[in-house]
């Protein structure tokens, strides 16, 4: 009887652990890969800033790490679908815009002002994180714009350039 109880206990622990891990389908999606990249780069930047003389900047990567980790968890477990009071894409957009600006600024300062290697590494990882966050907010912006226009993402974009005009002539 004890073996059955232990087996049931192991299964329940495994179920809890599997429910906390992101699904493979979400992690392999574009949004999942971007969020995973944001989590990893924010954490690496946080560790580098903590080990550097530019430790005053350690708070921004840590907060962005926690925010990206929360959204990775929320999107992968469909937590966001249960709470309809928030406009999740807009919240995610604002997070990405602010993160890309903050990472860009602190990366420039850490690379240019601090001479130690950890500060330089934090700056380099911060620049890469800036690119990842900027890509994320670009994709979110396009989705929000299509939603607000009432358009379908399968529509072909309109051609804004006139093929008959010659841009080189005056």
Please report where in the chains the tokens 């580098």 appear, as a residue: 48
Considering just the CA atoms, what is the radius of gyration of the chain in Å? 22
Choice among 26-30, 125-129, 147-151, 153-157 with the minimum mean pLDDT: 153-157
pLDDT computed for residue 90 by the predictor: 86
Q: Where are the alpha helices (DSSP H) in 21-83?
A: 24-27, 30-50, 59-76, 79-82
- Mean pLDDT taken over the chain: 82
**pLDDT classification of 85: cutoffs 50, 70, 90:** confident
pLDDT computed for residue 13 by the predictor: 61
Q: Whole-prediction pTM value?
A: 0.74
Domain ranges of the chain: 26-148
Model confidence over 51-80: pLDDT tens digits?
999 889 999 999 999 999 999 888 888 887
Q: Which two tokens stand for residue 49?
A: 């800033």
Q: What is the mean pLDDT of residues 84-89?
A: 80
């Amino acid at each position: 009887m004890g073996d059955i109880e232990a087996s049931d206990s192991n299964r329940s622990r495994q179920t809890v652990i599997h429910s906390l891990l992101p699904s493979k389908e979400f992690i392999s999606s574009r949004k999942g890969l971007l969020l995973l990249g944001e989590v990893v780069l924010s954490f690496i930047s946080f560790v580098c800033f903590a080990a550097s003389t530019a430790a005053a900047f350690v708070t921004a990567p840590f907060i962005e790490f926690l925010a990206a980790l929360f959204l990775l968890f929320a999107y992968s477990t469909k937590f966001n679908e249960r709470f309809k009071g928030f406009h999740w894409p807009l919240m995610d957009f604002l997070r990405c815009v602010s993160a890309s600006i903050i990472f860009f600024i602190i990366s420039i300062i850490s690379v240019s002002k601090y001479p130690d290697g950890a500060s330089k590494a934090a700056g380099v990882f911060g620049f890469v994180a800036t690119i990842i966050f900027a890509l994320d907010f670009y994709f979110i912006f396009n989705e929000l714009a299509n939603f607000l226009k009432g358009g379908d993402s399968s529509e072909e974009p309109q051609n804004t350039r006139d093929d008959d005009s010659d841009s080189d002539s005056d």
